Amino acid sequence: MATEGLPLREGVHGVAVRDLQHRLTALGFECAGETAGFGARTRAAVEAFQRHRGLVDDGVCGTDTWSALVEAGYRLGDRLLYLRAPMLRGDDVVDLQLHLDSLGFDAGRPDGIFGPDTERALRDFQRNAGLSVDGVCGPDVLAALRRLGAATTGPSGVAGVRERNRLLSASRAHRGRRIAIGQDGQLGGIARAVERALAADGVEVRCLADADPSGQAGAANDFDAELFVGLALSPDTTRRAAYYAAPGFESAGGRHLAELLAERVGPVVESSFAVVGMRVPVLRETRMPAVLCHLGPTVPPAQCSTDVAEAVAHALLCWLDEPLGEDSQPT
């Protein structure tokens, strides 16, 4: 199905809805038997799939949900995996990354994107296993992985250890540190106020105004930021501070920043914040610890916006002092 037909929501009919239902059912999210189009059962299945994949569970199949459905359909061995443009994405890539990680080959965090880190780890594995070093995951690589009994790992795998050690060894000075602040055009005032507060402390800040979350992630990566915070309105009534987490990996630095933001911003907006691990594009595609902060369904009024900006800036400065919390010890 072409993405031009999206979003799909309750009340829609047609071939695209049947395709959606087929994919959901194949993945174990049952909505079979609902033949009259996108009804309540399909919505419930979409919401369950979104929660499972770390997406916003609004019951609407937009581009993020559709992409996740397509990626979830790939199993390791279904296709050759190699570095190309655009980069290959899928659950088969996640499986490869986790297998390499469990054997000590650093493929980067398991984000399901076959990028340069994954290719480098794959080539190292091929070299060590006595295979042809071509950076392609095919039948010979799969056979070697099965022979070695590679298993998936938890947050203490190579990627998790690498992030923790990098954060623990980073300077605690504020001057010269690099932070990217993203927003989609609706919260520019808050973002600029945060920038001014951080700049007064010597922090180098890049404000990124882009309606495309992937665009924000790419700009943050190009800026070589060591931390990213995205400011956004909530697609529902939930206020959340979301960090990147996926099976086999959790960003410890991202989680700590999410906790700091929830602790400081919550009282300002007089609402509790949910601290959750998610896999939305901006968190998945940034190469540094990142948090997406949903401030609520509407833009805060002027004075509240000023207070929110101060709270966000304070949380970021606290993170620069202790990126893993006060009790963190080197791994």
- Nearest in space to 283 (alpha carbons), one of 34, 54, 7: 54
Question: Is the pLDDT at 287 greater than 70, yes or no?
Answer: yes
List beta partners, residue 207.
181
Would you give the end-to-end CA distance of the chain in angstroms? 46
Contact 310, 317 (CB under 8 A): no
Q: What is the pLDDT of residues 9-61, one digit of tens each?
A: 999 999 999 999 999 999 999 987 777 799 999 999 999 999 999 999 999 99
Relative to beta strand 178-183, strand 290-294 is unpaired
Q: What is the pLDDT of residues 197-234, one digit of tens each?
A: 999 999 999 999 999 999 999 999 999 999 999 999 99
Least confident of 40-54, 139-153, 229-243, 267-281: 139-153
Please report how many Cα atoms fall inside a 13 Å half-sphere around the Cα of residue 55, on the Cβ side: 21
Measure the CA–CA gap between 279 and 64, rounded to whole angstroms.
10
Q: What is this structure's pTM?
A: 0.91
Helices (H), the chain: 15-26, 40-52, 63-72, 91-102, 116-128, 139-148, 158-169, 188-199, 213-222, 252-269, 281-285, 302-321
List beta partners, residue 137.
81
**Main-chain dihedrals φ then ψ at residue 304, nearest 5 degrees:** -65, -40
Predicted pLDDT at 3: 64
- What domains are defined for the chain? 3-72 (1.10.101.10), 91-154 (1.10.101.10), 164-321 (3.40.630.40)
* Amino acid letter for position 291: V
Contact 289, 323 (CB under 8 A): yes
Q: What is the pLDDT of residues 145-195, one digit of tens each?
A: 988 875 555 555 788 888 999 999 999 999 999 999 999 999 999 999 999
Percentages helix, strand, coil for the chain (3-state, rounded to 5) are 45, 15, 40
Measure the CA–CA gap between 132 and 126, rounded to whole angstroms.
6
Please report how many Cα atoms fall inside a 13 Å half-sphere around the Cα of residue 279, on the Cβ side: 26
Relative to beta strand 240-246, strand 290-294 is antiparallel
Angle 60-282-136 from CA coordinates, rounded to 5°: 100
Predicted pLDDT at 329: 47
- Give residue 331's pLDDT band: very low, low, confident or very high (50, 70, 90): very low
Q: How far does Cα 146 stand from its chain's mean position? A: 29
